[in-house]
Amino acid sequence: MNPRIKIAAIAAAALLLLTGWWILRPESPTEIAVKERPEGAPKHLTVNQLERMGVKTAAAKIASGVPLGTMPATVTLPPEARVAVTAPFPGAIRQVFVIAGQSVSRGQPLATMVSRDALQVGSTLTRARAQLGLARANASRTQQLVRAGVIAGARAQEANAALRQAEADVSENARILNISGARGDGSITLRAPIRGRVSSVAVQTGGPVDGMAAPFVIDASNSYQLDIQLPERLAGLVKPGMTVTLPGNASGRVLSVGSAIDPDTRSVLAKASISASPGLIAGKTIMVSIEAGAGQRVIAVPTSAITRAEGNDVVFVKAPKGFVQRAVVVGGSAGGETVIAHGLAAGEEVAISGLTEIKMALGGE
């Protein structure tokens, strides 16, 4: 065979073998990761790439003293802290001593009034006392006659029954005047039943008062409640007993957490008790923070571990192949730490530096 033809045949065979190997060769791990990763699957960064970028990590841990979040709240009054002062009898106001917004002490006079009904009770009491004196004298005289054998013993029993009836009439009418704060001349002094602030004055000097409307309303000034609007993302984390802090270092405790989400605000109503603090008034809207209580597990990471990607808060979690991007739900921040409401477990390591480089290496925005 011609040597040139032989060389050409060998070269053609070698080229054919090389082409077949290229077509049938196994794919590299990098190509498999790219082609076989389904849409939405985690993105990975290799260990070698991380070492070149000098990425530092920190472990997620149980939070201590980190607020779950800051949210709006409305200052309200406990059910027992608002007291309506009503008039025991209808009548007319003689004099008003307080104005709306004024602080009062327990028992302090609010107004004086006169009432015909109170005057009638006073008159009835006067007659009952006179009748009581007569009944006592009659009972005493009857007992003497019975002992002397002049009259039968049944007459003494009748006298004693009349005496007890007179005593009951006096006691009842005196009790009515005492409870109502009225005197026998028909005058009544309306007094503050608790220490607090007058929130409503609905009467004026010379004006009428009936037994249905409350001329005064007093709000206790030593305790308040908060109606807190919990964001939907934090609703599952807040529990009764957690600490609530307000501006000015005032604090309180979560009393209850609602079980339904408001469709308009996408929030859950929580109630908290709060002690008195300067500037607190019912109806005021303030921002409050909620912290986890003792024994309640809340995850936190360094704030530097959190970034934004694809419209979500994300962290880069250390995995066997490098790092994986994971979306999380964040809460409040304090002292360089941020609460993770959902998406991370205690002990998992996250990147705290080089986040921009990691994001770019993973093809992020």
pLDDT in tens, 261-313: 888 888 889 999 887 776 777 788 888 888 776 556 778 888 888 888 878 88
pLDDT-based confidence at residue 10 (cuts at 50, 70, 90) = low
How confident is the model at residue 99, as a pLDDT?
92
Residue spans of beta strands (DSSP E) within 47-121: 57-59, 61-62, 67-76, 82-85, 91-96, 103-104, 109-114
Phi, psi of 362 (to 5 degrees): -90, 5
Angle at CA of residue 176, ends 174 and 180, nearest 5°: 120
pLDDT-based confidence at residue 41 (cuts at 50, 70, 90) = very low
Give the predicted TM-score (pTM) of the model. 0.53
How is residue 304 written in tokens?
A: 């530097």
Domain segments of the chain as ranges: 1-31, 37-66+298-361, 68-81+220-291, 116-185
How is residue 331 written in tokens?
A: 């809460």
Residue spans of beta strands (DSSP E) within 258-328: 267-275, 285-291, 299-302, 307-309, 312-319, 322-327
pLDDT score of 199 more than 50 = yes
Average pLDDT over residues 12-20: 53
Q: How far apart are CA 53 and CA 353, in angstroms?
A: 9
pLDDT score of 318 more than 80 = yes
Average pLDDT over residues 256-264: 86
How confident is the model at residue 16, as a pLDDT?
52
How is residue 188 written in tokens?
A: 């009544």
Q: 139-143, long-range: CB within 8 Å, 24+ apart, which pairs?
A: 139/163
Average pLDDT over residues 319-345: 80
How confident is the model at residue 71, as a pLDDT?
84
Max Cα distance, the chain (Å): 174
How confident is the model at residue 26, as a pLDDT?
44
- Under 8 Å between Cβ of 91 and 117: yes
How confident is the model at residue 25, as a pLDDT?
47
pLDDT score of 321 more than 50 = yes
Percent of the chain whose pLDDT exceeds 90:
6
* Average pLDDT for the chain: 78
pLDDT score of 241 more than 80 = yes
pLDDT score of 326 more than 80 = yes
pLDDT-based confidence at residue 95 (cuts at 50, 70, 90) = very high
For residue 25, list its beta bridge partners.
none
Q: What is the pLDDT of residues 122-165, one digit of tens each?
A: 888 888 889 888 888 888 888 888 787 777 778 888 888 888 99
Rg (alpha carbons) of the chain, rounded to whole number: 42
Cα dist from 88 to 92, 168, 178, 195, 211, whole Å:
12, 21, 11, 20, 6
How confident is the model at residue 364, as a pLDDT?
53
pLDDT score of 207 more than 80 = yes
On whether the 116-185 domain is CATH 3.30.70, my answer is no
pLDDT-based confidence at residue 109 (cuts at 50, 70, 90) = very high
- Under 8 Å between Cβ of 191 and 73: no
Instruction: Please name the fold of domain 37-66+298-361.
Output: 2.40.420
For 68-81+220-291, CATH gives 2.40.30.170
Phi, psi of 258 (to 5 degrees): -65, 165
- Highest mean pLDDT: which range of 68-72, 160-164, 230-234, 332-336: 160-164
pLDDT-based confidence at residue 12 (cuts at 50, 70, 90) = low
> Which of 290, 299, 298, 296 has the alpha carbon at shortest distance from 254?
290
Question: Reduced to 3 states, what is the DSSP secondary structure of residue 71?
Answer: strand
Q: How far apart are CA 174 and CA 165, in angstroms?
A: 14
- Under 8 Å between Cβ of 337 and 301: yes
pLDDT score of 22 more than 90 = no
> Which of 185, 184, 140 has the alpha carbon at shortest distance from 132?
140
How is residue 93 written in tokens?
A: 């106001």
pLDDT-based confidence at residue 110 (cuts at 50, 70, 90) = very high
Cα dist from 6 to 19, 20, 60, whole Å:
20, 21, 70
Q: Distance between the two ends of the chain, CA-based, in angstroms?
A: 65
